[in-house]
Structure 1
Amino acid sequence: MSINIKVLLVEDDPNFGSIMKSYLELNEYVVELKKDGKQGLDAVQKDSFDICILDVMMPEMDGFTLAKEVKKLHPDLKRHAQLTEDESKLLDFQVGKFTFTFTLRTLTLDDHVQSLSPKEAKLLRMLCESRDGILLRKEALVKIWGDDNYFNGRSMDVFLARLRKYLKPDPAVEIANIHGNGFRLNIGE
């Protein structure tokens, strides 16, 4: 008995992709395997699928970005992303016109992707989580740098300056200094 369910499998690991494809085909699924997000997007644009199974960490285009593009093209298509527990806790934040993906440490505006250092990503995540509230300077220093001494404070100021530079293309986004306390992420219209 053939069920004729068409599956798009996007996986950059050739061994794992081959095993998954074989397993699905043994269970009578029709499987098209692609090795990165761009190939996956091309396949979705050219053909129709019943299910998409997407790897998250891939070259060219990550699984989160691909899932968003697939959703735009086919809102009813079933998608599955394999996430670790930590990855599933936080996927994306909208920061004005930007999309901040903590797990990938990227800040995306249109087609421009800015990679973030681990500390930049942690600092931006803390700002996003405390949005409309104040991120206490001491709290950020202790959580990210492990100590709130003067030198770590100066280091954090450099990271904040970088984040402000990355966010500058969207005038509605501002990291404001709250004198004597910390910082606030302000996002206007």
Structure 2
Amino acid sequence: MPDTIKILLAEDEPSLALIVKESLETRDFEVIVCTDGEEALQRYAEEIPQLLVLDVMMPKIDGFAVAEHIRKTDKKTPIIFLTAKSQTKDVVEGFQHGGNDYLKKPFSIEELIVRIYALLNRVGGTDTQNQEDEINIGSYIFNPTKQTLTYKEDSEILTHRETEVLKHLYKNKNEMVTRSFILNDIWGNDDFFSGRSLDVFISKLRKKLSADPAVQIINSRGFGYKLVC
């Protein structure tokens, strides 16, 4: 990733836009603020940002339409939607229009920043699986392709979901990954039942990684998980 990350923020509520802009700038992001969807498309073409944060309900062109237009030529740049809509169908619609994450208003700035870092890491060349099949996690060897976790001479097969969850945690090792991000990326939603399912897989992974005390999955209750190794 480049030293200075350029983020396009499209938000028609001036006070919220200012808070988000100033908070991101304290993390050394460069922030381009737009107040409607038409301006967002114009500035996107001019500035080529590394990530977009789009309010869904905007004048002229809404956030979903902006994302859909961008996805015709750009499949890679991460997009986070901001919206007061909270129903599952609204979240699903956001992903169908090309969004990578979905943050419901009101939200904490810290949560937004965590999600931004997580998405940038995914597209910034930190996916070790693309470089090698075997990943060292403490004393364990994790092979995402074969879906195996090996400790010394003992190897066990992981389920597809266990593999996907561990991949997400490893990509962002030593950093907090939000529950919502994992759920939406793997399950396609972050409803109650998917959340309970995620909790089960986290418990299983903790047990399978318990032989090495230097490896831990830390839980921030109600927020997310961090793989420490």
TM norm structure 2: 0.42
The residue type equivalent to 2:183 in the other structure is: L
Deviation at 1:142, TM superposition (A): 0.7
Residues 90 and 138 of structure 1: is their aligned pair in 2 closer, same or farther, counting only changes over 3 Å?
farther
Q: Distance in 1 between matches of 2:209 and 2:152?
A: 13
- What residue is the counterpart of 1:170 in the other structure? 212
The secondary structure found in structure 2 opposite 1:168 is: coil
Q: Which residue of 2 aligns with 1:123?
A: 165
Is 1:109 the counterpart of 2:155? The answer is no
Number of aligned residues: 101
C-alpha offsets along residues 96-139 of structure 1, whole Å, 9 cap, x if unaligned?
10000100100001110011000000000100001011111001
1:89 shift after superposition: 4.7
Name the TM-score, length of structure 1 as normaliser.
Answer: 0.51
Among candidates 151, 173, 181, match of residue 193 of structure 2: 151
What is the RMSD computed on CA atoms of the aligned residues?
1.3
Equivalent position amino acid for 1:122 in 2: E
- 1:17-38 superposed Cα distances (whole Å, 9 cap, x missing partner): xxxxxxxxxxxxxxxxxxxxxx
Name the SS of the counterpart of 1:114 in structure 2.
Answer: strand
Q: CA deviation at 1:90?
A: 4.7
- Paired residue for 2:141? 99
* Equivalent position amino acid for 1:117 in 2: T
Aligned ranges for residues 56-95 of structure 1 at < 5 Å?
Answer: 88-95=130-137
Contact 1:90/1:103, CA 8 A, preserved across alignment? no
Percent identity of the aligned residues?
36
Mapped contact 1:176–1:184 kept (Cα < 8 A): yes
Aligned partner letter, 1:91: D
Note the residue ranges of structure 2 that are not aligned, 5 or more in a row: 1-128
Question: 1:88: Cα distance to partner?
Answer: 4.3
Cα deviation code 1:55-74 (max 9, x no counterpart): xxxxxxxxxxxxxxxxxxxx
- Runs of at least 4 residues off by over 4 Å: 87-90
**Over alpha carbons, which structure has the higher Rg?**
1
